[in-house]
Amino acid sequence: MQAQTLSPPRSSHWQDTLERILPKIVLAPSFVICVVFFYGFIIWTAIMSMTPSRMLPRYEFVGIEQYVSLFANDRWWLALKNLAIFGGLFIVLCLAMGLLLAILLDQRVRAEGFIRSIFLYPLALSFIVTGTAWKWILDPSIGLQKVLNDLGWTSFVFDWIKAPDMAIYTVVIAGIWQSSGFVMALFLAGLRGIDDSIIKAAKIDGASMPTIYRRIILPSLRPVFFSSFMILAHIAIKSFDLVMALTGGGPGFSTDLPATFMYTYAFTRNQIGLGAASATVMLGIVLAVIVPFMYSELRSGRNG
């Protein structure tokens, strides 16, 4: 329901004037927040990324020098590569898992509400708590490997979390555990929103359930795919807490992500300029994902 713009008549009565500007006054703090603390700060960080700042900000312009050293930094490349691996797997598997769970739950299962709350509760937890729990579960000396060893399968090895080239996959495992419930909730809502009569018409037309899923249901879930993708991508790019708790960035810095890289360099290594540059690149990555999405949303119009 679109709200009609109430434009009260201009009046010289001071009370009415107050009435006219009161909405703007109310919005003012948030306006300041938006302008200063969102967009202003982004610009500030971008400016800092073009300065040679180290421990304290020094406002001299050095152009893209920091970006050059950023991209000459092996650790940064590793972080980007990890982001691609983690992000890609995280998004795809969360979508698959979430969709699968949603379809399962939609089959008129008993105690659906209870089961749904089991899938969803991980979202109520901090990434730190999640990271801590999985850190020990994946630890070879007391976790999964030891369990299976103790049960008799003595040759089972699962020490990914200690192996530099496999550790990033443990982040994927923990991440999916945390976030797939959310995707499931979105898909379930989407499935429930599909008009039953379309399904019935398809059945009368003689289509089998797999075909119905493929040709009718999945296509109509497109908007949910898109929003989930956007949100998951956003979570992946921002991932910091999970890595810090699960691996601390290690072993060494083999599970570094851009977010942990930025934190380390800006706040522990006193390289503010470089940190700012990495932050701005992260922003660029986020925009590269969001902007096309927003654009396609606006173009396809609002069709409910």
Partner 1 sequence: MGALSVRKVRKSYAGVEILKGIDIDIEQGEFLILVGPSGCGKSTLLSMIAGLEEITSGDVFIADRRVNDLSPKDRDIAMVFQSYALYPSMTVRQNISFGLEIRKMPQAEREAAVDRVAQILQIGHLLDRRPSQLSGGQRQRVAMGRAIARDPALFLFDEPLSNLDAKLRVEMRTEIKLLHKRLGTTIVYVTHDQIEAMTLGDKIAVMKAGEVQQFGTPGDIYRNPANLFVAGFMGSPSMNFITAKVCESGSGLGLEMESGGERFVFPAVNGEGLAAWKGREVIVGIRPEQITEVVDSHGDDPRVVRQSLPIELSEPTGPDTLLLVHINGAKVTCRVCPDFASVPGEKMPLMFDLTKVVYFDPATEQRIQ
Partner 2 sequence: MAENVAGPRLTFGRIALYAFITYCCLYYLLPVTVMLFNSIKDLNELKAGNLMALPRQVTFEPWVKAWSSACTGITCDGLRGYFWTSVAMVVPAVLISTLLGAFNGYVLTMWRFKGSDWFFMALMLGCFIPFQSILLPMAQTLGKLGIANSIPGLIFVHVVYGTAFTTLFFRNYYVAIPDELVKAARIDGADFLTIFRRIILPISGPIIVVTVIWQFTQIWNDFLFGVVFSSGERQPITVALNNLVNTSTGVKEYNVDMAAAVIAALPTLFVYIVAGKYFVRGLTAGAVKG
Sites for partner 1 among residues 1-60 (CB under 8 A):
6-13, 16, 19
CA–CA separation, 292 and 70 (whole Å): 26
Measure the N-to-C terminal CA separation of the chain; round to a whole number of Å: 12
In the chain, count H helices and then E strands. Answer: 15, 0
CA–CA separation, 172 and 86 (whole Å): 6
Q: Nearest approach, Cβ of 239 to partner 2 (angstroms)?
A: 10
Question: What is the x/- site pattern for partner 2, positions 63-102, by CB under 8 A?
Answer: --------------------------------------x-
- In single-letter form, the type of residue at position 99 comes to L
- Binders in 256-285 for partner 2, by CB under 8 A: 258-259, 262-263, 266-267, 272, 275-276, 278-280, 282-283
160's contact among partner 1, partner 2, none, with CB below 5 to 8 A by partner kind, is none
- Binders in 211-250 for partner 2, by CB under 8 A: 217, 223-224, 227-228, 231, 234, 237-238, 240-241, 244-245, 248
Per-residue exposure over 244-281, b if at least 16 CB sit within 10 Å of its own CB, e if not: bbbbebeeebbbbbbbbbbbbbbeeeebbbbbbbbbbb
Q: Nearest approach, Cβ of 222 to partner 2 (angstroms)?
A: 13
* Shorter beta-carbon distance to partner 1: residue 17 or 126: 17
Q: Is 62 in the site for partner 2 (CB under 8 A)?
A: no
Q: Cα dihedral angle (50, 52, 57, 59), rounded to 10 degrees?
A: -60
Q: Which of 118, 157, 201, 288 binds partner 2 (CB under 8 A)?
A: 118
**Could you tell me which residues come within 8 angstroms of residue 191 by beta carbon, excluding any fewer than 6 positions away?**
102, 103, 106, 217, 221
| Cis peptide leading into residue 29 (ω within 30°) | no
- Binders in 235-294 for partner 1, by CB under 8 A: none
Question: What is the x/- site pattern for partner 2, positions 175-194, by CB under 8 A?
Answer: --x---xx--xx--xxx--x
Q: Which of 69, 73, 132, 220 binds partner 2 (CB under 8 A)?
A: 132
Q: Where on the chain is the footprint of partner 1 (CB under 8 A)?
A: 6-13, 16, 19
